[in-house]
Structure 1
């Protein structure tokens, strides 16, 4: 299941975080990072998925 989340995180970083933690603070942080730049959103999403 982590592979599916990582693939989602590459294409839509907030979706990968949402699948991992739901609508928590990490999700909203990832939304902001993705709006600031696509790469920071991907890095944050992969980090959240790998951390848990």
Structure 2
């Protein structure tokens, strides 16, 4: 995992997921989790991009 991916996972989780997986269910889940609360979105981004 690159430093850029780690920074994006923390600051903009949906963007990090989009850059690695494109538009799809994983991206939508990331957006929903980030909108509900920021921390679940970050955790999901690290798991998906890990």
Deviation of residue 5 (structure 1)?
Answer: 1.4
Matching of residues 24-39 of structure 1 within 5 Å: 24-39=24-39
For 2:36 and 2:42, the matched residues in 1 are separated by 11
Give the aligned partner of residue 40 of structure 1.
Answer: 40
Equivalent pair of 1:6/1:49 in contact (CA under 8 Å): no
Deviations 1:1-52 (A, max 9, x none): 63211211100110110111011110000000001100000000011110xx
Give the aligned partner of residue 16 of structure 2.
Answer: 16
**TM superposition outliers: structure 1 runs of 4+ over 4 Å:** none
List runs of 5+ in structure 2 lacking aligned partners.
none
For 1:25 and 1:6, the matched residues in 2 are separated by 21
List runs of 5+ in structure 1 lacking aligned partners.
none
Length, aligned pairs only: 50
